[in-house]
Amino acid sequence: MPAPLETCISDLDCASSSGSDLSGFLTDEEDCARLQQAASASGPPVPARRGAPNISRASEVPGAQDDEQERRRRRGRTRVRSEALLHSLRRSRRVKANDRERNRMHNLNAALDALRSVLPSFPDDTKLTKIETLRFAYNYIWALAETLRLADQGLPAGSARERLLPPQCVPCLPGPPSPASDAESWGSGAAAAASPLSDPSSPAASEDFTYSPSEPAFSFPSLPKDLLHTTPCFIPYH
Protein backbone atom coordinates (compact mmCIF):
# COMPACT_ATOMS: atom_id res chain seq x y z
CA MET A 1 0.00 0.00 0.00
CA PRO A 2 1.45 3.36 -0.89
CA ALA A 3 2.64 5.50 1.94
CA PRO A 4 0.49 8.48 2.84
CA LEU A 5 1.37 11.52 0.89
CA GLU A 6 2.20 13.45 4.04
CA THR A 7 4.74 10.82 5.05
CA CYS A 8 6.46 11.01 1.73
CA ILE A 9 6.53 14.75 1.85
CA SER A 10 8.21 14.65 5.23
CA ASP A 11 10.66 12.17 3.75
CA LEU A 12 11.43 14.67 1.07
CA ASP A 13 11.92 17.37 3.66
CA CYS A 14 14.46 15.31 5.49
CA ALA A 15 16.23 14.11 2.39
CA SER A 16 16.67 17.52 0.91
CA SER A 17 17.94 18.97 4.13
CA SER A 18 20.41 16.18 4.78
CA GLY A 19 21.67 16.17 1.22
CA SER A 20 21.13 12.46 0.73
CA ASP A 21 20.71 10.50 -2.47
CA LEU A 22 17.52 12.21 -3.52
CA SER A 23 19.48 14.62 -5.62
CA GLY A 24 19.39 12.06 -8.36
CA PHE A 25 15.81 12.76 -9.24
CA LEU A 26 14.82 15.78 -7.23
CA THR A 27 16.78 18.21 -9.28
CA ASP A 28 16.52 21.19 -7.01
CA GLU A 29 14.81 22.69 -4.00
CA GLU A 30 12.21 24.17 -6.27
CA ASP A 31 10.96 20.69 -7.07
CA CYS A 32 10.64 19.94 -3.39
CA ALA A 33 8.79 23.14 -2.78
CA ARG A 34 6.39 22.38 -5.63
CA LEU A 35 5.87 18.94 -4.19
CA GLN A 36 4.92 20.32 -0.82
CA GLN A 37 2.65 22.77 -2.51
CA ALA A 38 1.01 19.94 -4.38
CA ALA A 39 0.59 18.00 -1.18
CA SER A 40 -1.19 20.84 0.48
CA ALA A 41 -3.32 21.21 -2.62
CA SER A 42 -4.36 17.56 -2.66
CA GLY A 43 -4.54 17.14 1.09
CA PRO A 44 -7.27 18.15 3.50
CA PRO A 45 -8.46 21.72 3.15
CA VAL A 46 -6.42 24.13 5.22
CA PRO A 47 -8.06 27.04 6.97
CA ALA A 48 -7.76 30.22 4.96
CA ARG A 49 -5.09 32.62 6.02
CA ARG A 50 -6.28 35.64 7.87
CA GLY A 51 -6.96 38.31 5.36
CA ALA A 52 -6.79 35.96 2.40
CA PRO A 53 -9.59 36.14 -0.14
CA ASN A 54 -12.39 33.70 0.53
CA ILE A 55 -12.20 31.54 -2.58
CA SER A 56 -15.08 29.35 -1.54
CA ARG A 57 -17.35 32.15 -2.55
CA ALA A 58 -15.44 33.02 -5.66
CA SER A 59 -18.28 31.85 -7.84
CA GLU A 60 -20.32 34.71 -6.58
CA VAL A 61 -17.80 37.19 -7.98
CA PRO A 62 -18.39 38.08 -11.64
CA GLY A 63 -15.72 36.41 -13.89
CA ALA A 64 -14.37 34.26 -11.08
CA GLN A 65 -15.67 30.94 -12.49
CA ASP A 66 -12.88 30.86 -15.09
CA ASP A 67 -10.30 31.44 -12.37
CA GLU A 68 -11.73 28.62 -10.30
CA GLN A 69 -11.61 26.20 -13.24
CA GLU A 70 -8.05 27.22 -14.02
CA ARG A 71 -7.04 26.62 -10.40
CA ARG A 72 -8.61 23.17 -10.50
CA ARG A 73 -6.74 22.32 -13.68
CA ARG A 74 -3.47 23.42 -12.11
CA ARG A 75 -4.15 21.43 -8.99
CA GLY A 76 -4.77 18.35 -11.09
CA ARG A 77 -1.55 18.75 -13.02
CA THR A 78 0.50 19.36 -9.88
CA ARG A 79 -1.06 16.36 -8.20
CA VAL A 80 -0.09 14.07 -11.07
CA ARG A 81 3.41 15.47 -10.96
CA SER A 82 3.73 14.99 -7.21
CA GLU A 83 2.53 11.40 -7.44
CA ALA A 84 5.09 10.75 -10.15
CA LEU A 85 7.80 12.22 -7.96
CA LEU A 86 6.72 10.16 -4.99
CA HIS A 87 6.69 7.07 -7.13
CA SER A 88 10.21 7.74 -8.32
CA LEU A 89 11.25 8.43 -4.74
CA ARG A 90 9.94 5.09 -3.57
CA ARG A 91 11.42 3.43 -6.62
CA SER A 92 14.83 4.93 -5.99
CA ARG A 93 14.82 3.79 -2.38
CA ARG A 94 13.75 0.30 -3.37
CA VAL A 95 16.51 0.07 -5.96
CA LYS A 96 19.05 1.12 -3.35
CA ALA A 97 17.69 -1.38 -0.85
CA ASN A 98 17.78 -4.10 -3.48
CA ASP A 99 21.38 -3.26 -4.19
CA ARG A 100 22.30 -3.50 -0.53
CA GLU A 101 20.44 -6.76 -0.16
CA ARG A 102 22.20 -8.20 -3.19
CA ASN A 103 25.54 -7.18 -1.74
CA ARG A 104 24.66 -8.67 1.59
CA MET A 105 23.78 -11.99 0.01
CA HIS A 106 26.97 -11.93 -2.06
CA ASN A 107 28.97 -11.45 1.14
CA LEU A 108 27.09 -14.29 2.73
CA ASN A 109 27.85 -16.52 -0.25
CA ALA A 110 31.50 -15.50 -0.16
CA ALA A 111 31.65 -16.53 3.47
CA LEU A 112 30.05 -19.85 2.59
CA ASP A 113 32.60 -20.35 -0.18
CA ALA A 114 35.39 -19.64 2.28
CA LEU A 115 33.88 -22.19 4.63
CA ARG A 116 33.70 -24.77 1.82
CA SER A 117 37.34 -24.14 0.99
CA VAL A 118 38.52 -25.16 4.45
CA LEU A 119 36.31 -28.22 4.66
CA PRO A 120 37.44 -31.58 3.36
CA SER A 121 36.10 -32.08 -0.13
CA PHE A 122 35.29 -34.90 -2.48
CA PRO A 123 37.73 -35.85 -5.21
CA ASP A 124 34.99 -35.36 -7.79
CA ASP A 125 34.72 -31.76 -6.64
CA THR A 126 31.03 -31.85 -5.91
CA LYS A 127 30.10 -28.47 -4.60
CA LEU A 128 28.26 -28.61 -1.33
CA THR A 129 24.97 -26.83 -1.18
CA LYS A 130 24.53 -24.13 1.42
CA ILE A 131 22.72 -26.31 3.90
CA GLU A 132 25.17 -29.15 3.32
CA THR A 133 28.08 -26.81 3.92
CA LEU A 134 26.68 -25.64 7.22
CA ARG A 135 25.80 -29.09 8.43
CA PHE A 136 29.07 -30.60 7.38
CA ALA A 137 31.03 -27.78 9.00
CA TYR A 138 29.11 -28.40 12.17
CA ASN A 139 29.97 -32.07 12.08
CA TYR A 140 33.51 -31.45 11.04
CA ILE A 141 34.10 -29.23 14.03
CA TRP A 142 32.56 -31.88 16.19
CA ALA A 143 34.93 -34.46 14.69
CA LEU A 144 37.96 -32.27 15.30
CA ALA A 145 36.91 -31.72 18.86
CA GLU A 146 36.45 -35.45 19.24
CA THR A 147 39.98 -35.94 17.96
CA LEU A 148 41.31 -33.67 20.64
CA ARG A 149 39.25 -35.40 23.26
CA LEU A 150 40.59 -38.80 22.29
CA ALA A 151 44.09 -37.44 22.21
CA ASP A 152 43.61 -36.10 25.69
CA GLN A 153 42.51 -39.53 26.83
CA GLY A 154 45.89 -40.85 25.79
CA LEU A 155 44.85 -42.84 22.78
CA PRO A 156 47.55 -43.15 20.16
CA ALA A 157 47.16 -40.50 17.52
CA GLY A 158 46.85 -43.21 14.91
CA SER A 159 43.84 -44.91 16.45
CA ALA A 160 42.08 -41.64 16.99
CA ARG A 161 42.75 -40.71 13.44
CA GLU A 162 41.52 -44.04 12.14
CA ARG A 163 38.34 -43.67 14.05
CA LEU A 164 37.80 -40.22 12.68
CA LEU A 165 39.13 -40.54 9.17
CA PRO A 166 37.96 -43.42 6.99
CA PRO A 167 40.84 -44.47 4.74
CA GLN A 168 38.84 -44.05 1.52
CA CYS A 169 38.38 -40.38 2.13
CA VAL A 170 40.84 -37.96 0.64
CA PRO A 171 41.31 -36.25 2.93
CA CYS A 172 38.07 -37.21 4.59
CA LEU A 173 34.41 -37.08 4.05
CA PRO A 174 31.92 -39.36 5.70
CA GLY A 175 30.16 -40.20 2.47
CA PRO A 176 28.13 -38.35 -0.10
CA PRO A 177 24.86 -36.82 0.94
CA SER A 178 22.02 -38.97 -0.15
CA PRO A 179 20.06 -37.12 -2.83
CA ALA A 180 16.85 -38.57 -1.48
CA SER A 181 17.30 -37.35 2.03
CA ASP A 182 19.40 -34.27 1.55
CA ALA A 183 22.27 -33.70 3.90
CA GLU A 184 20.38 -34.90 6.91
CA SER A 185 21.51 -38.43 6.19
CA TRP A 186 25.15 -37.56 6.03
CA GLY A 187 27.16 -40.39 7.42
CA SER A 188 24.50 -42.98 6.78
CA GLY A 189 26.30 -44.58 3.85
CA ALA A 190 28.52 -47.64 4.05
CA ALA A 191 31.57 -45.54 3.41
CA ALA A 192 30.76 -43.61 6.49
CA ALA A 193 30.39 -46.55 8.77
CA ALA A 194 33.70 -45.88 10.47
CA SER A 195 33.21 -42.18 10.78
CA PRO A 196 32.14 -40.40 13.92
CA LEU A 197 29.94 -38.35 11.67
CA SER A 198 27.74 -41.40 11.49
CA ASP A 199 28.05 -41.94 15.18
CA PRO A 200 24.63 -41.67 16.81
CA SER A 201 26.17 -39.29 19.26
CA SER A 202 27.34 -37.10 16.45
CA PRO A 203 25.48 -33.80 16.52
CA ALA A 204 23.94 -34.10 13.07
CA ALA A 205 23.17 -37.78 13.22
CA SER A 206 19.78 -37.45 14.78
CA GLU A 207 16.79 -37.30 12.47
CA ASP A 208 15.49 -33.94 13.48
CA PHE A 209 18.73 -32.22 14.08
CA THR A 210 18.38 -28.50 14.29
CA TYR A 211 21.04 -26.09 15.32
CA SER A 212 20.19 -24.12 18.39
CA PRO A 213 22.83 -21.63 19.45
CA SER A 214 21.31 -21.18 22.87
CA GLU A 215 21.23 -24.88 23.57
CA PRO A 216 24.29 -26.55 22.12
CA ALA A 217 23.76 -30.19 21.27
CA PHE A 218 27.15 -31.03 22.68
CA SER A 219 30.08 -29.41 24.38
CA PHE A 220 33.80 -29.30 23.84
CA PRO A 221 35.09 -30.27 27.25
CA SER A 222 38.64 -30.80 26.13
CA LEU A 223 38.94 -28.05 23.58
CA PRO A 224 41.21 -25.36 24.97
CA LYS A 225 39.47 -22.02 24.98
CA ASP A 226 42.52 -20.18 23.76
CA LEU A 227 42.56 -22.48 20.75
CA LEU A 228 39.13 -21.23 19.81
CA HIS A 229 40.36 -17.70 20.02
CA THR A 230 43.53 -18.25 18.04
CA THR A 231 41.97 -20.27 15.25
CA PRO A 232 42.53 -18.32 12.05
CA CYS A 233 39.38 -17.05 10.43
CA PHE A 234 39.28 -17.61 6.71
CA ILE A 235 36.02 -15.88 6.16
CA PRO A 236 36.71 -12.51 4.63
CA TYR A 237 34.86 -9.53 5.89
CA HIS A 238 33.75 -7.01 3.33
Partner DNA sequence: TAGGCCATCTGGTCCT
Partner DNA sequence: AGGACCAGATGGCCTA
Phi, psi (deg, nearest 5) at residue 199: -60, 130
Residue 87 found at the interface with DNA (CB under 7 A):
no
**Contacts of residue 31, Cβ cutoff 8 Å, sequence gap at least 6:** 85
Q: Least Å distance between CB 95 and DNA?
A: 7
* H-only helix segments in 21-129: 29-42, 64-118
Which CB, 92 or 222, lies closer to DNA? Answer: 92
Q: Least Å distance between CB 145 and DNA?
A: 25
Q: Least Å distance between CB 14 and DNA?
A: 4
CA–CA gap between residue 101 and residue 109 (Å, rounded): 12
Candidates 38-46, 63-71, 96-104, 224-232: pick the segment binding DNA (CB under 7 A): 96-104
Near DNA in 169-208, by CB under 7 A: 179, 182
From 94, 114, 117, 126, residue interacting with DNA (rule: CB under 7 A): 94
Query: Which amino acid, 38?
Result: A
For DNA, what does the binding mask look like between residues 1 and 40, x meaning CB under 7 A?
x--------xx--xx--x-x--------------------
Candidates 36-44, 128-136, 168-176, 212-220: pick the segment binding DNA (CB under 7 A): 128-136
Q: How far is CA 124 from CA 117, 121, 128, 169, 231, in A?
A: 14, 8, 12, 12, 28
- Size of site (CB under 7 A) for DNA: 25
Instruction: Give how far the C-alpha of residue 97 lies from the chain's centroid of Cα atoms, to the nearest Å.
Output: 10
Which CB, 27 or 103, lies closer to DNA? Answer: 103
Candidates 42-50, 98-106, 167-175, 229-237: pick the segment binding DNA (CB under 7 A): 98-106
CA–CA gap between residue 85 and residue 87 (Å, rounded): 5
Instruction: Give DSSP secondary structure letters for 140-166.
Output: HHHHHHHHHHHHHTT--HHHHHHHHS-
Tell me the three state secondary structure of residue 3: coil
Which CB, 175 or 196, lies closer to DNA? Answer: 175
Q: Which residues form the interface with DNA (CB under 7 A)?
A: 1, 10-11, 14-15, 18, 20, 94-102, 104-106, 109, 129-131, 179, 182
